[in-house]
Each structure stands twice: as C-alpha cells, then as structure tokens.
Amino acid sequence: AQSVTQLDSHVSVSEGTPVLLRCNYSSSYSPSLFWYVQHPNKGLQLLLKYTSAATLVKGINGFEAEFKKSETSFHLTKPSAHMSDAAEYFCVVTFSMFSGGYNKLIFGAGTRLAVHP
C-alpha cells in the first residue's frame, strides 16, 4: 500500500528565510513523487516531480526536493521565501504497474505555508 505523510500541517517563515516542508512516503513499488501547490481559489499547480532519474529535483519558482530512498523522504526546500509562496503544498506519491501506465495520485494532507514580512 502507498501513503504519504506530511509532517507539518502549518509552517510559518519570514520573507527571505529558507523554507523546509517535510514529506515521508510509503510505497511497495518504486514510486514517483510530486509536489503540488494550491493557492486560494486556484487549481493545483505542479511544482516538481521525481521519476527515478536524478535524486535532486529542481522545480519552478526556486523550489527543489531531494529523494532519499533510505529515509523514504521527499522534502521540499527553497533558499529564500517570498510573500507569493504563501499557499497550501501537497506531497504526492504514485506508481505505475507498467511503464507508461496511468497513475492515481495519493495526496498527503497538505502543509499550509505562511510567509511573514
């Protein structure tokens, strides 16, 4: 069975300081992992994805995440927070039974990021 645990429901940072959103996953198969962001009244937007290539994945808006198999983690980081980063962030796991197969995404409960001036 697959599952995702986001370790913090709320994270608050000051503008210009680093961001760390933590995610642990459980998967019986080689997983694909994603981070999505959801701004109020807007759709889910893909930040980045890991699919068994490089373990350090760079995404949009300066975000990156590192896949650590030994720790079953996929934490999201950003060196310097911006006010516009305030949103809900979801860590997501999935796998395909076969290459190129469809994927039903399994979402974590989300982490709400607040950025203060």
Partner 1 sequence: DTGVSQNPRHKITKRGQNVTFRCDPISEHNRLYWYRQTLGQGPEFLTYFQNEAQLEKSRLLSDRFSAERPKGSFSTLEIQRTEQGDSAMYLCASSPRTRGTTDTQYFGPGTRLTVL
Scan for tokens 């608050």, then name that residue. 12
Cα angle: 20, vertex 110, 28; to 5 degrees: 90
| Cβ 18 to partner 1 shortest distance, Å | 24
Applying CB under 8 A, among 42, 56, 97, 117 the residue interacting with partner 1 is 42
Which span (14-22, 61-69, 78-86, 105-113) binds partner 1, by CB under 8 A? 105-113
Scan for tokens 């896949």, then name that residue. 67
102 binds partner 1 (CB under 8 A): yes
Which span (11-19, 42-50, 59-67, 73-81) binds partner 1, by CB under 8 A? 42-50
Task: Name the pairing type of β-strands 44-50 and 19-21.
Answer: unpaired
Q: How far apart are the first and last CA of the chain?
A: 41
| Cβ 27 to partner 1 shortest distance, Å | 13
Element containing residue 33 per DSSP (H, E): strand 32-38
Please identify, using beta-carbon distances, which residue of 18 and 69 lies nearer to partner 1. Answer: 69
108 binds partner 1 (CB under 8 A): yes
Q: What are phi and psi of 35, to 5 degrees?
A: -125, 130
Site string for partner 1, 43-62 (x = CB under 8 A): xxxx--x-x-----------
